[in-house]
Structure 1
Amino acid sequence: MARLYFDGNAELIRDRTIAMIGFGNQGSAQALNLRDGGFKVVIGNIEDEYAGRARDQGFTVYSIPEVVKHGDIIVMAIPDEVQPEVWVRDIAPNLLPGKIVIFLSGYNVYYGFIKPPKDVDVVMVAPRMIGEGVRDNFVNGKGFPVLIGVANDHSGKAWDYTLAYSKAIGAIGRPGGVAVESSCEEETVTDLFSEHTWAGAFLFLLAEGYNVLIENGVSPEAAMLELWASGELIAITKAIAEKGLFAQLKGHSTTSQYGHLTWGPRYVTDDVKRLMRDAIRQIKDGTFAREWALEKMLGYPVFNRLWDEVMKSRVWQDEDKLYRVLERRK
């Protein structure tokens, strides 16, 4: 069993300047949480719309090289695929000994795309939810789960810093919050595994279910509302989180329970099991990381083609019509 932590001493970093590199989903949420908690936060960003948003929120924005000089704690909140380039160009030349570098995922450290110096603390605090959830939970007085790890303990206090930062952003020390002792490797493998297996399959399974319902005379509106557009999935996933994966079935009708238990296992075929094991193998041996690095270098041709195919699909086109009528999309 992993060690679980429910509180930390945020005062360890109370007097430190926290330099948030990036003001996207996670960066903005964590920066706002930190500021609301009385911590000093400055933003490092290129001059784009995110820099403008940070200034609109009242933050001081520096260039990334400058913010690294100002900050005692450097938080890497920019996307994984751009971090190595930014690290080499803007961060490493300005990173003085004794500073603390916090990664929000283990990806670049695990795969060796970033090799921090040995004279800084290198830690990971990885929220298990999107930035919107990080912010909403904080505002509502709730905590949230994070995976924590240490890649380099220069000061001898790196584990304490992971808990201090977890407390400062509101993850622990609040109801529902927990920090799980982990590592850059474990975080990367589990995160990518979710994205490459059930999460992606879930979207395309719903899309195929939509096609089958349409083929059998169901209206697009009824099909989408049944499968995802009603928001029932939110209630189900909330029940899973609170009650457990299968325990939440007790909240369904007996007819629903029987359908879940008889038909659910049939979709977990030998081919599906093989695909899941292929996915984790390609994550652990670096095949996916190399593929994604090449995709970026070539200008994202496969990524853009796949998005184009999705947006041309019937499910996207029909959904767009319904969501515009419901005023969920402009």
Structure 2
Amino acid sequence: MGWAEIGGCLVRGQEMCLGKTRNLCSRRTHLSIHLYITLRSINRIVMASQRSSRALRVALRQASAPRVQQRTFVSAVNAASRPSVQPAQKAIASSFVQQTRGAKTVDFAGDKEKVYERNDWPHDKLLDYFKNDTLALIGYGSQGHGQGLNLRDNGLNVIVGVRKDGASWKEAIQDGWVPGKNLFEVDEAIQKGSIIMNLLSDAAQSETWPRIKPMLTKGKTLYFSHGFSPVFKDQTKVDVPNDIDVILVAPKGSGRTVRTLFREGRGINSSFAVFQDVTGKAEERAVAMGVAVGSGYLYKTTFEKEVYSDLYGERGCLMGGIHGMFLAQYEVLRENGHSPSEAFNETVEEATQSLYPLIGQNGMDYMYAACSTTARRGAIDWSKRFKDSLKPVFEDLYESVRSGKETQRTMEYASRPDYRQAFEKEMEEIRNMEIWRAGKAVRSLRPENN
């Protein structure tokens, strides 16, 4: 057995498991080999179930992307019939198979919404629809990278516009974009394009708008992947011309995820919206663009709702709120004599590596039913107290987003001359928190890292 430093404390053990550890003492932790083997077996079962579910989703969504091997419905149903898949999951899958192609109405907890799927846009139809268009992608960050490569692989006429010889220009060249052929400076790309995909950062969109707006002439379509700039135009000064279509496709994930799911033949969920419809065809074009950039399913929303929910979620359960809860729970455990490894395992490791994936796969009711009576009773009771305590905070947060306070804060922060230095200082402070130093050591002991 070896020793590892976790949060400044020495911990002894052979390997780190995904769940709880046993035989814990205040400063040294002997990790149970028996529990590790048991949890590895459980994890294999869970992963098998996830693979079966993924296989079914792949078959149902049938990617139109080139160079991606399609799975058949037969193989998907065979995979779904394996013992590792719950009967309820198979029933849901069956009802999905019977649904028709194209737009469908889906009941989301009693609220019926129209959902669009890419099966209604086979590859030949997509190519024909955009045969007279040049898609000018402005900016080559996370979304620009993922969406741009997907468009190119789909065979569409897409060009990239970025600052010559900058970091994005060099990255684009590494990805196979050719200067003078499909890689240009921003002004030239906009002039060549019929659909202008403004995928610059929020701050950069505001900064470059006076230069970009005059080039958005009648007949062009302006495309966003986030409603921030036009919705908060009083702060961003992004006032779109009134004689062009303005649309949005917002993938529910990073550009890397957009690209990965496309290459796997699946497709990311995205929302789409129309801000301005001059031609009467803006919605159809938004759906087509959503499919072209790699979406599997598209949900209709508005620019306002997209940006409100996005900013709210990032500050809440997706990042800010969950980080705050991690810190609070960890600190209380440490103040009561628990070791860094135990505090991190009970706060972050077990949540992210074991429980959250199961909740995402099967829902919260499944998680409650799968745990012990002791855990179940306590979790259900305390969830109500947490909800009552946290709801006022979330109400304040939503109002801060809707009123534009969060936008103003973001714009002021991003415009500071020392923005990058200030951001790096904040990141260094987070990296040096005991909880995340402990986490680095815990991650190094995971089975896949040994």
Shorter-chain TM-score range: 0.7 to 0.9
Q: Residues 136 and 258 (structure 1 numbering): CA distance in 2 closer, same or farther, change over 3 Å?
A: farther
Distance across 1 between alignment mates of 2:169 and 2:369: 47
Distance across 1 between alignment mates of 2:231 and 2:113: 19
Give the equivalent residue in structure 2 for 1:281: 399
Counterpart of 1:189 (choices 282, 302, 308) is 308
Q: Which amino acid aligns with 1:72?
A: S
Q: Residues 129 and 246 (structure 1 numbering): CA distance in 2 closer, same or farther, change over 3 Å?
A: farther
Counterpart of 1:224 (choices 325, 340, 344) is 344
Q: Per-residue deviation at 1:256?
A: 3.3
Cα-to-partner distance string for 1:40-62 (whole Å, 9 max, x where unaligned) = 22211223222211111101321
Q: Per-residue deviation at 1:288?
A: 1.7
Q: Residues 134 and 236 (structure 1 numbering): CA distance in 2 closer, same or farther, change over 3 Å?
A: farther
Distance across 2 between alignment mates of 1:220 and 1:251: 27
Distance across 1 between alignment mates of 2:255 and 2:437: 28
Normalised by the length of structure 2, the TM-score is: 0.65
- Of 312-321 and 299-308, deviating more is 299-308
Matches within 5 A, 1:1-330: 1-7=112-118, 8-9=120-121, 10-11=126-127, 12-46=129-163, 47-60=165-178, 61-89=183-211, 91-112=212-233, 113=236, 114-172=238-296, 178-199=297-318, 200-229=320-349, 233=352, 236-270=355-389, 272-299=390-417, 300=419, 306-320=426-440
Distance across 1 between alignment mates of 2:346 and 2:200: 36
Identity of aligned residues (%): 27
Q: Per-residue deviation at 1:292?
A: 1.9
Distance across 2 between alignment mates of 1:106 and 1:303: 24
Q: Pick the structure with greater CA Rg.
A: 2
Contact 1:73–1:100 under 8 Å retained in 2: yes
Q: Per-residue deviation at 1:146?
A: 1.0
Q: Residues 84 and 134 (structure 1 numbering): CA distance in 2 closer, same or farther, change over 3 Å?
A: same
SS at 1:43 equivalent: strand
Distance across 2 between alignment mates of 1:14 and 1:188: 31
Normalised by the length of structure 1, the TM-score is: 0.86
Distance across 1 between alignment mates of 2:353 and 2:168: 29
Distance across 1 between alignment mates of 2:206 and 2:146: 23
Distance across 2 between alignment mates of 1:318 and 1:205: 17
SS at 1:96 equivalent: coil
- Of 52-61 and 6-15, deviating more is 6-15
Q: Per-residue deviation at 1:306?
A: 4.3
Contact 1:295–1:302 under 8 Å retained in 2: no
Distance across 1 between alignment mates of 2:364 and 2:197: 33
Cα-to-partner distance string for 1:134-165 (whole Å, 9 max, x where unaligned) = 11211111122111110111221110111101
- Of 254-263 and 286-295, deviating more is 254-263
Q: Which amino acid aligns with 2:153?
A: D
Contact 1:2–1:182 under 8 Å retained in 2: no
Cα-to-partner distance string for 1:262-289 (whole Å, 9 max, x where unaligned) = 222222344x222211111121121221
Distance across 2 between alignment mates of 1:49 and 1:323: 31
Q: Per-residue deviation at 1:79?
A: 1.2
Q: Residues 67 and 234 (structure 1 numbering): CA distance in 2 closer, same or farther, change over 3 Å?
A: farther
Q: Per-residue deviation at 1:252?
A: 3.5
- What runs of 5+ residues in structure 2 fail to find an aligned partner? 1-111
Q: Which amino acid aligns with 1:123?
A: I
Distance across 2 between alignment mates of 1:125 and 1:245: 29
Q: Residues 244 and 88 (structure 1 numbering): CA distance in 2 closer, same or farther, change over 3 Å?
A: farther
Give the equivalent residue in structure 2 for 1:175: none
| Off by >6 Å, runs of 4+ in structure 1 | none
Distance across 1 between alignment mates of 2:139 and 2:371: 43
- What runs of 5+ residues in structure 1 fail to find an aligned partner? 173-177
Distance across 2 between alignment mates of 1:243 and 1:129: 20
Q: Per-residue deviation at 1:322?
A: 5.2
- Of 250-259 and 11-20, deviating more is 250-259
Cα-to-partner distance string for 1:223-255 (whole Å, 9 max, x where unaligned) = 33443346x525544443443344443344444
Aligned-residue CA RMSD in angstroms?
A: 2.7
